[in-house]
Amino acid sequence: MTISRRSLVASAALGTAAAFMPRVAFAAFPERPIRLIVPFAAGGNADIVGRIVGERISSALGQPVIVDNRGGAGGSIGAEAVARATPDGYTLLVGSNGPLTVNPFVQAKLGYDPLKDFAPIALTSYAPHCIILANKVEAKTLPDLIAMSKKEQISIATSGVGSATHMTLERFKAQTGANVVHVPYRSGGALMPDLIGGSIQAAMTEFSTAIPLHKGGQAHIVAVALEKRSQLALDVATFIDGGVKDFTASSYIGILAPASTPPAIVAQLQKAITDGLNGPGAADKLRGMGSEIATPEQMTSAGFADFIRTDYKRMGEAAKLAGLEPK
């Protein structure tokens, strides 16, 4: 067979072009370790969940997953690092309320757009919010607490101004008319000694933080913001049980990649996460911490994206109720 000079020139041109194409186009993903950025300090809920999920991704894909804690600015520093990373699947974000749906309403100079700069992969779990009372507070139910507040203002602490629990408290006040003064702390853990000691009356916090105190008799939970009662504490009523219609709220955790990450890679990561959480051990660990597992739909890229958009709208409304302006 005779090969024309034109064919040889075309073949050479294609070879030269291929040499300059991104390596990711030829390599099977993943071919090197994956970096999972947790935008908070080690030891918190996002860090713990991130490490559990990272282990499952590593087992499924056969590459190490390196957890990189980059705290600061309520999670915005780590989130911005991922938003600006190469969209090749090798840099992922452990996303949560703060950087995704709260900070846009409290930080004026956010270096990323949470609705445009990420490719959601999968929601993994969420820790429902709850109201826990100091033992000296006589109210035993949520209706008791609301009625008490209308006779005398009560103080309810949260993990800080503009935190997810603060936003939930504002929604609770607006929906019930409860007469509440907000007491902000540095974190959910920081307020617990004062709650146990009785120097604050109540807290709106994560169920995972409150459940050990409730079970240990050091304080008592009057309502959890779930659709149905938690299997960890069936004695605890929901806000809905207490007459607050459709009231749910949580601190959620999910995994995201930079926008423009190839859909095939997003799908591969999503499957690794879903299979890992549906396998033995992982879901039990999360439930044991007081977390609820995301639904199958929420564990998809599209489902997680819808979840973020819905929560973004809800947080915007809560920020207005709280009178918060980006600073």
Q: What is the pLDDT of residues 259-294, one digit of tens each?
A: 999 999 999 999 999 999 988 788 888 888 888 899
What pTM was estimated for this model as a whole? Answer: 0.82
| Architecture label for domain 128-224 | 3-Layer(aba) Sandwich (3.40)
Q: Among 22-26, 191-195, 202-206, whose mean pLDDT is lowest?
A: 22-26
> Is pLDDT larger for residue 117 or for residue 291?
117
User: Half-sphere exposure of residue 62, counting CA atoms within 13 Å on the CB side?
Assistant: 4
Q: Note the pLDDT of residue 208.
A: 87
Q: Do 34 and 63 contact (CB within 8 A), yes or no?
A: yes
Name the residue ranges covered by the structural domains of the chain.
Answer: 33-125+251-322, 128-224
| DSSP collapsed to 3 states, 193-253 | HHHHHCCCCEEEEEHHHHHHHHHCCCEEEEEECCCCCCCCCCCCCECCCCCCCCCCCEEEE
The reply to whether domains 33-125+251-322 and 128-224 share a CATH topology is yes
Q: Of the CATH numbers 3.40.190.150, 3.40.630.30, 3.30.559.10, 1.10.510.10, which one belongs to the domain with range 33-125+251-322?
A: 3.40.190.150
Name the band, by pLDDT with cuts 50, 70 and 90, for residue 4.
very low
**pLDDT of 75-107, one tens digit each?**
999 999 999 999 999 999 999 999 999 999 999
Name the band, by pLDDT with cuts 50, 70 and 90, for residue 15.
very low
